[in-house]
Structure 1
Amino acid sequence: MTEHSIFRKETRAAVAASSAVYERQPYFIRNYSRCRELLLTEKDPEGAAEAVRFGIMHARLLHLDCYLLPIVYIDWMLPELLKDLKKQGIPDTVIMESLRDIEIWIQSYRKYHQGQVGLDRIEWVFRSLAGKVQRFGSLQFEKVTYEFPFLVLENRQSGKLQAMAYPDLVADQDGYFAGTNARKSVSIVKTELEYREGNLHGYCADLKRGTLNVEEKASYCLENWEVKLVPGEEAVAVHIPEGADLSPDSIDASLHAAKSYYENSILICESWMLDPHLELILPQTSRVVNFMHRFYKIPVMADRPQILERVMGFDFTMDKLLQFPCTTSLQSALKKYLSEGNEMFTTAGFMPWNDNTTGRNTGL
């Protein structure tokens, strides 16, 4: 058992009890070696997570505590992980803040498994272990390929931002992608995007509502507007850890600290915390609402709103709504809002990332 401070006492005890059991099985030594190679040498957290899932299957076959296996593997490789992350030039404080995300997901697992120690968000955690996701203060940051189907434009004089939809997207009557929340489409609009004579013609996002403006098309002259972000380019994504301090000062400090590490000028995010409907269930002084206002909003396709699992619980379904026992004011407000037939939406967004970035940068 490695001595370190990223695990709680009960996690360390569970790992210590199971580690010797796994060490005695040659299969798990081989499986661990493959996982270690994928994570540390090949920097492939997705492949490493898949290798661990095979290990979990084998552990279940042997009636072992199978979801403790990923934590055992992490414990075994932790000294090498720390050296590798330092070699990447990541500051020690950022390394420790990033690794503490592991315990957050261990506690989440315990909540839904009668207090049992385990980890099932393996791929996400391995992205932190590989140095791909890094935590600076309140927020996590990750270099990603920008995939939202919108061109981000910036006015060359005012700095104002706009988003134009790629062609052949299907939106419903309210400007959400058809099928979002499994809602019925009364009518649909298929987007178009055309470039001719120095102008872009197409459908734009309503950056305040997080929908497509399906009522009319717009035109932007590229002499006056610069294309800042195109699908397929590198971007930096923002993630909000559970329990993060969302006070404006803490968010500003997090953005400022991370800015010195990344070169991108635009941040992207996809979260329930970007849904403009939060204003209808939370006070204007809410830290979540303040965070939401930092972003220009665009729609994203999601089968069900992320807020259901993140606020009500990962085992929540809408048929449990009326009997759901609320323990927080946000749960109570959300329950009332949904029981009245209203909807919430997972929403994507972007924001300029510069030295003047603040909670008022969108002007929305």
Structure 2
Amino acid sequence: MTLLHINNPPEVWVENWESVIALYKDDQQLYFLRSEYISEANLYFKLNEEKSAAFYHALELIRGREDLITFAWLWKCLLYEENSPTDAYDVASWPIPEVAMGAMAQMFPLIIAVSNLPWLRENYKMRGITESILFDTLSDIGIIMEESRKRTGVWGIENFLLEWLKNHFQGGLFRIGRLQYMPKKFDQHISVYRHMNTRMVIALEGECQLTGNFFEGFPITPLGRVLSKTVKLSLAEWEAVLIKGDFMLDVHIPRGGKLEYDLLDESYRSAMAIYPKLFPKQQFKGFICHTWMFDPLLQKILPEDSNLVKFQRDFYLYRIVDDDSVFETVFISKPKDLHTLPEETSLQRAIKRHVLSGKQMSSAAGFLLFDDFYSGPTYYQKKQGEVQSLLKICE
């Protein structure tokens, strides 16, 4: 650490140092630091010449110093060795070798991220997952490198993106068609119920609370507004269809390509067919997603036939959060002077007009239950009025 000019290394490095060094047996374990490894891996990543050159340059720097080689082995073991509790690590805060690698320092976490490809290929083969899904999933590498370079001016990734790429290389995330999916336990403090006869769906704020023969709570409209009056749902008429602890597919929207509605539908259908085979012991209830694309205000500032609006309207929105994540995705960053925001696309122009009027952008979370998927587009939001009228019905 002294040689690398890294002061106050994370405690997890100190605690695991001896066990990590004990895992090293021979140079074959350093396969991921060879240029040949990246050349073979690039059959999956499909990086252009400039991005590949950044990998080769960074690898040459690492191979030229024993301290960097040891440092790379430490990171790889902590992230990918069996029984390593990586979820407990604050990888985003780990210091990178900036003094030793200079402008190439951000390539260091990326080299570690992609080091698990041999295991990943075997994992896909063992689970019967097609290579086409592997190719699609790993196409994120080039996309993420581009995003990071726009923010920082150099090739590589920021550490918080290493947290994200672990999902790809540990077999936790798959891109199926236009969308990415991750299995996730539903951990939100809402519960969702369906009327046994009308099939109407309603979300209540808070976890299941039984009062006599009733579920009771504050209803949430499909556009994410929590109503101020509680309702009581009879156990004889309503059933719980989504509660805390249920398994869902967490949806992520990778960059690259248009968000065409037909492609979304195709991706959902494929995911619903594939995931029960990949995880036969888990019963998935539906899709969940939290994104700036679910800001309800987008329905007002974008055209009715916008693919983004149609994507949003298929979900029941249950939580709205004020944040600026839209700027990172649509504009790369949020400038101090909002008048300088670019206006290259219709989406950029619409959002810029909106924020310049003094209004706040938001993100939102929503769900789409498998049982409601075939009920047609905008199923939940078409029933917006029904949810609000439920207050009177249940009085």
Q: Normalised by the shorter chain, which TM-score bucket?
A: 0.7 to 0.9
Contact kept, 8 Å, 2:179 with 2:251, in 1: the verdict is: yes
Contact kept, 8 Å, 1:297 with 1:348, in 2: the verdict is: yes
**Could you give the per-residue CA deviations for residues 204-227 of structure 1, whole angstroms, max 9, x where no partner exists?**
1011x212112x211111222111
User: What is the aligned partner in structure 2 of residue 356 from structure 1?
Assistant: 374
For the pair 1:289 / 2:309, whether they are aligned, the reply is yes
Q: CA deviation at 1:311?
A: 1.5
**Structure 1 residues 324 and 301, CA gap change in structure 2 (3 angstroms):** closer
User: What is the aligned partner in structure 1 of residue 99 from structure 2?
Assistant: 61
User: What is the aligned partner in structure 1 of residue 288 from structure 2?
Assistant: 268
**Structure 1 residues 118 and 293, CA gap change in structure 2 (3 angstroms):** same
Aligned partners of 1:43 and 1:359: how far apart in 2? Answer: 43
**Could you give the per-residue CA deviations for residues 217-268 of structure 1, whole angstroms, max 9, x where no partner exists?**
1111122211122223322111111234322210111001111122412211
Aligned partners of 2:196 and 2:261: how far apart in 1? Answer: 28
Contact kept, 8 Å, 2:61 with 2:101, in 1: the verdict is: no
Range moving further from structure 2, 143-152 or 158-167: 158-167
Percent identity of equivalent pairs: 23
Is the helix fraction higher in 1 or 2? 2
User: What is the aligned partner in structure 1 of residue 82 from structure 2?
Assistant: 41
Q: Per the alignment, in what secondary structure is the counterpart of residue 289 of structure 2?
A: strand
Contact kept, 8 Å, 2:80 with 2:116, in 1: the verdict is: no
Aligned partners of 2:205 and 2:337: how far apart in 1? Answer: 36
For the pair 1:203 / 2:218, whether they are aligned, the reply is yes
User: What is the aligned partner in structure 2 of residue 14 from structure 1?
Assistant: 54
Q: Per the alignment, in what secondary structure is the counterpart of residue 143 of structure 1?
A: strand
For 1:321, give the aligned amino acid. Answer: L
Aligned partners of 2:84 and 2:124: how far apart in 1? Answer: 11
Contact kept, 8 Å, 1:252 with 1:357, in 2: the verdict is: no
User: What is the aligned partner in structure 2 of residue 257 from structure 1?
Assistant: 270
Contact kept, 8 Å, 2:174 with 2:182, in 1: the verdict is: yes
**Could you give the per-residue CA deviations for residues 58-117 of structure 1, whole angstroms, max 9, x where no partner exists?**
x11324321011222345443333223333433211111111112111000111233x21
Contact kept, 8 Å, 2:113 with 2:166, in 1: the verdict is: no
**Structure 1 residues 118 and 262, CA gap change in structure 2 (3 angstroms):** same
Aligned residue among 91, 95, 113 for 2:134? 95
Aligned residue among 232, 235, 238 for 1:219? 232
For 2:51, give the aligned amino acid. Answer: T
Q: CA deviation at 1:357?
A: 6.3
User: What is the aligned partner in structure 2 of residue 338 from structure 1?
Assistant: 355
Q: CA deviation at 1:31?
A: 3.6
Contact kept, 8 Å, 2:116 with 2:169, in 1: the verdict is: no
Aligned partners of 1:30 and 1:53: how far apart in 2? Answer: 19
Q: Per the alignment, in what secondary structure is the counterpart of residue 236 of structure 1?
A: strand
Consecutive unaligned residues of structure 2, counting only runs of 5 or more, are 1-34, 277-283, 383-395
CA RMSD of aligned residues (A): 2.4
Q: Per the alignment, in what secondary structure is the counterpart of residue 274 of structure 2?
A: coil
For the pair 1:84 / 2:123, whether they are aligned, the reply is yes
**Structure 1 residues 201 and 74, CA gap change in structure 2 (3 angstroms):** closer
Aligned residue among 176, 181, 184 for 1:144? 184
Instruction: With the length of structure 2 as denominator, give the TM-score of the two structures.
Output: 0.77
Aligned partners of 1:63 and 1:224: how far apart in 2? Answer: 65
Give runs of aligned pairs for residues 134-213 of structure 1, distance below 5 A: 134-166=174-206, 194-207=209-222, 209-213=223-227
User: What is the aligned partner in structure 2 of residue 119 from structure 1?
Assistant: 157
Q: Per the alignment, in what secondary structure is the counterpart of residue 14 of structure 1?
A: helix
Aligned residue among 59, 63, 72 for 2:111? 72
Aligned partners of 1:218 and 1:8: how far apart in 2? Answer: 57
Contact kept, 8 Å, 1:109 with 1:119, in 2: the verdict is: yes
Q: Per the alignment, in what secondary structure is the counterpart of residue 165 of structure 2?
A: helix
For 1:32, give the aligned amino acid. Answer: A
Q: Per the alignment, in what secondary structure is the counterpart of residue 211 of structure 1?
A: coil
For 1:41, give the aligned amino acid. Answer: E
User: What is the aligned partner in structure 2 of residue 316 from structure 1?
Assistant: 334
Contact kept, 8 Å, 2:183 with 2:250, in 1: the verdict is: yes
Aligned partners of 1:196 and 1:75: how far apart in 2? Answer: 52
Q: CA deviation at 1:30?
A: 3.4
Contact kept, 8 Å, 1:49 with 1:122, in 2: the verdict is: no
Contact kept, 8 Å, 1:142 with 1:236, in 2: the verdict is: yes
Consecutive unaligned residues of structure 1, counting only runs of 5 or more, are 168-192
Q: Greater Rg, structure 1 or structure 2?
A: 2
**Structure 1 residues 166 and 90, CA gap change in structure 2 (3 angstroms):** same
User: What is the aligned partner in structure 1 of residue 26 from structure 2?
Assistant: none
For 1:287, give the aligned amino acid. Answer: N
Aligned partners of 1:260 and 1:45: how far apart in 2? Answer: 30
User: What is the aligned partner in structure 1 of residue 343 from structure 2?
Assistant: 326
